[in-house]
Amino acid sequence: MNKYIFIIALLCAAVILLSGCSPKLGGDVFALPNLPKEYVSLQNELNVIISNGAEYAAAENGVNRQAVQLVDLNADGTPEAIAFFTSGDGAIKAYVFGYGEDRYAQIGVLESYGRRIWSVDYPVCSEKGDRAIALSVTFDDEVTYGMTVASVRDGELRQMLDLQYSEVLFEDTDSDGCDELFFAVRNGASGAYLAQMYKLSGDEYKLRYTAAMCTEVRTVANMQIGMTADGKTALYIDSAASNGGFVSDVLTLDGSAPVNLTVDAAGGSGMATWRASAVYCADIDGDGITDVPVFEGGELKSMLSWKDFTLDDTKEIAKTYYNLTDKWYMLWPEKWGDAVSAERKSGADTSSVTFFVPQTAGDGYNGEVRNAILTVYVFTGENSGENLKSYPGIKVLATSGSTVYGCFLIENDYKRYSLNEEQLKEAFNVIEQSWNTEGY
């Protein structure tokens, strides 16, 4: 969305002036430049609002965190100015100013009530590229948000939607040029969650789909659009479970009504997708299909089975050793099966995971209780490179910032289970930070 949002340095200077933070230094050397008259007119408008007791406010999450933003809302090539304020009565307001005749003038005010601004988004709301303002605020419970959506139509600011939600996603899933609005909504009385999709209809967003989510959902963690193995567009929702761990809902969007592929039809349970850690659905094997991580039992808690859910079938497509703590995972080699185990150790700036072959492995078993075949190391901190040098024989697998990932391939006679460096590099992946609409 950044390419559609034009934040101008001169406007930042205006905000500095308004906040009273301008430097009081002698002479003209350090004087701020004179603002063009159109921004002087905007400054005057904002001064009036502040003189009435309002204070600047900025969003806590998302990419749009400035108190004053310039966004082309009506796709005419000229950005409107949106300024966010709070007042003592709990009102949170977004003042929208349009530009014309060499000045900014107020178009309207989008008003909401809450503790703080949670996020500001600009979903596309017309085929020609108009954008709406989606203002989200927090409430006392800190798990429910309020969203008010409005757009500029015929020179006026018109409300399009107002609701409460727990998680939101903006996405154009039907390629009509306009974003659909997907919400996870919690019933305050029962605690049950629903997934809802709102679609643009005229000048408003109308409810198009509603579907029950699995009964285990405690809080929603992540929402994304993906593709199922049979080519259907689907909404993938990852949630913290009420009994601990995480579960997923997969809701198809191609049809007159959504179908939840991961819940038990009889009781609405989503335990078929349960895993202990906050691992979200992803295209784990790069085939364009979004896969669901599942823990299938066993002593190795970091072992995940990745499955593709369709209406007629559920198929495992890969296994991973998923080390969320150290931010890496490895595709589990098929030849390892259930024969290989793992053990993690950690220190101040170094951690390691060693993979072992059990006594019954054969292939040159030498009588040791456990027989190491591979160790993956993670070096963190400013001295990660120097720490790596103190471990001779380690091969570098990857780097991410100051973190270095390395491996030590242990020489042995376990040919059935051994990997070479090339095989390991193909299987190894760094876990990148996951960004969603509400938590950048």
pLDDT digit string, tens, across residues 69-118: 999 999 999 999 999 999 878 899 999 999 988 889 999 999 999 999 99
**What is d(CA 129, CA 78) in angstroms, rounded to the nearest whole number?**
13
Q: Quick: pLDDT tens for 285-331.
A: 999 999 999 998 888 889 999 999 999 999 999 999 999 999 999 99
133-138 and 145-153 strand pairing: antiparallel
Contact 383, 402 (CB under 8 A): no
Label residue 22 by pLDDT band (50, 70, 90).
very low
- Position 416, amino acid: R
3-state class (DSSP) for residue 334: helix
Angstrom CA distances, 346 to 8, 299, 389, stand at 47, 19, 18
Q: How confident is the model at residue 364 (pLDDT cuts 50, 70, 90)?
A: low
In single-letter form, the type of residue at position 362 comes to G
Q: 211: part of which helix (H) or strand (E)?
A: strand 204-212
Residue 359 carries which DSSP code? Answer: G
At a CB cut-off of 8 Å and minimum separation 6, what does 373 contact? 340, 355, 356, 357, 409, 410, 412, 414, 417, 418, 419
CA 391 to chain centre: 36
- Number of Cβ atoms within 10 Å of the Cβ of 256: 6
Q: What is the CA radius of gyration of the chain?
A: 27
Calculate helix-pair angle for 37-51, 9-19, nearest 10 degrees: 30
Inter-residue contact 104 to 120 (CB < 8 Å): no
Token pair 């929402």: residue: 223
Structure tokens at 356: 């072992």
First to last CA, the chain: 13
HEC assignment per residue over 201-257: ECCEEEEEEEEECCCCEEEEEEEEEEECCCCCEEEEEEEEECCCCEEEEEEECCCCC
Rounded CA-CA distance 255/257 in Å is 5
| Residues constituting the chain | 440
**Whose structure tokens read 């098929």?**
334
Q: CA 124 to CA 183: how far, in whole Å? A: 16
| Average pLDDT value for residue range 340-363 | 83
CA distances from 71 to 120, 242, 379 (A): 12, 40, 43
Which pLDDT tens digit goes with each residue over 165-201? 999 999 999 999 999 999 999 998 899 999 999 999 9
With a cut of 50, say whether residue 218 has pLDDT above it.
Answer: yes
